[in-house]
Every structure is written in C-alpha cells, then in structure tokens.
Structure 1
Amino acid sequence: MKFEYRSLIEFMTNISVVCPKCGSKAQVTSSYISVWKASFICTSCLSHRVWDGNTSSFVTAHSNYDRYEGILSGPAVDSFFRYPLWYQSEYKGEVLYAYNLTHLSWLKQYLGAMLRERIQTPHGWSNQSLQSRLPQWMLSAKNRDTIIKKIVALEKT
C-alpha cells in the first residue's frame, strides 16, 4: 500500500486529553495554520484554559522562521498544556499513543499494512514525515497483531 506524506502536526488540531481536574476526556484545539494559539476545554467539569504561545512549551529546535521553535512529539502529552493524552497504551515498556481518533485510524492503517511504500512529494523524499519517524518497535512485523489489537481497544474508549 502506498502512503502519502503525513506530518504529526496535521493531527494536532484536535487533541483528546485527560482533564486534570475530573479525569474525563477533554479536548485541546489549535489551528493547523498557527500552532501558537490553543485552547483546552472539558465538557464534563467545564474547566478551560487558553495557551497563546507566550508561556513555556516544548522546544526542540530553533529556526529562522519568526516565532517558530519546534514542538516536541515524544511524550504522551499534548504539546501545549502537557496534559496526558486520552489515547495511550503501554506495550513492552513503550508507549503507544495517538492525538485523536483520526490519528489512531491512520496508525492502524499504516501499521497494519503488509507493505508500506511512501509516495515521493513534489520536493523529493522527506525524512520529516510521520511515516519516517515512527519507532522501530511499532514497525516490526512481529509486533503488528498486538499493536493493532491495542489500537482497536483504544478506539473503543
């Protein structure tokens, strides 16, 4: 199966998190165009916050682009408020996580494919695609069935 270039930031516009006040499923939303503004809302306890980019966020690298410093994509927390992600599961000491159901669905499709071919972008091959950044334990064929079962279980939560 051939897969088009995907970026992790595409899944960051609507992130399902655990509300720090009541433990219910809540949402962090941001703009795909500008990740410098984000909001948190829990419909269960009505807790809410706004992040405007002026407070501490995960910084991984500096860039020549104005106000862009990069977003860490490692821990199973959102990159704005650092709340735990709703969709996460442990596998052999590693954390399988997704930002939302769309991200989970993409992971299930990509990891479940017997043959994973990438489509070259108009600018050539990209090492920054989500596909090229997945850890080896996720990509291993011997882990495929168990990881897919975990993704299916997460989709039901």
Structure 2
Amino acid sequence: MPRLSVGDAAPDFSLASSDSSPVSLADLRGRSVIVYFYPAAATPGCTKEACDFRDNLNSLASAGYAVLGISPDNVDKLAKFAADEALTFPLLSDPDHAVAEAYGAWGEKKNYGKVYEGLIRSTVVVDPEGKVSLAQYNVKATGHVAKLRRDLGLD
C-alpha cells in the first residue's frame, strides 16, 4: 500500500474504541491528531509505546494534540490492555486492517528471515484541516514518543 506524505488528505475512518463507542477522525476535525498504529496490544514493545504516549498525554494535549492508537486487536483485548496499563486515550480496533492499509501502515514485514503481511508500526499526525503534517513508518517502540515530540517541536 502507498504511504502517506505531508500534505495528503488523511483518510477518514470510524472505528470501535476500547470502550465500544465509535471514534471518527472527522469528529476530531479542528484539532491536531496523532494516529499511531501498533501491531498487538499487551506485547512488550506495544506496551512500552502505549505507556510512553500515556505518560506524555498531558503535554501533548496542552500542545493541542489528541492521540489515537490503532491495532488489529478486538475491542475486548483493547479494553483489557487499556485497563491494565491505565491508558486514557482511545485505542481503536481495526480487525480487517482497512484503516491501516489506507494509511500505508499494513504491508510486507520480515522477521527472522520470514516474510509476511502485517502491521507496520507507524505514526501519522493529522492537522486540524485533515491533512497529514507528519508521517513516520517503521518507527521503534522505544523512544518513539520522545522523537515524535522533538519532530513536532515540543521539546
């Protein structure tokens, strides 16, 4: 799938969240939104990344950013993950990976010599008008939020 670039229109979506309510990107128009894609809830790297977002949420919100995490996990798994890690931002379920595909966050991966299709850890920042202001692919779970803060000029 093609990856998004700065200036592209961010594909709209509406997905079920960890509390089962729908969350739509269109409902957040007028705000900057950090949309991050992670492979699987409650795994070591994804837990580290989610907790980094949780720990930086107040400063991101003060700078005008909302945070949405998206994975292929079902709503029940996301709800448990959110409760276990005290995550206070929406985790969204994309079981058919349609949103990940639209954002270029689904594609070929390699692990221990094996090639397969899967979720590519990625972050896309959407500006208040719905345009991509930053797109990062193949990000590292550890240290990603600190790098993102630097890239956004928040540090």
Greater percentage in strand: 2
The higher radius of gyration belongs to 1
More helix by share: 2
**TM-score, length of structure 1 as denominator length:** 0.29
TM-score with structure 2 length normalisation? 0.29
State the structure with bigger RCO (CA 8 A, min sep 6), 1 or 2.
Answer: 2
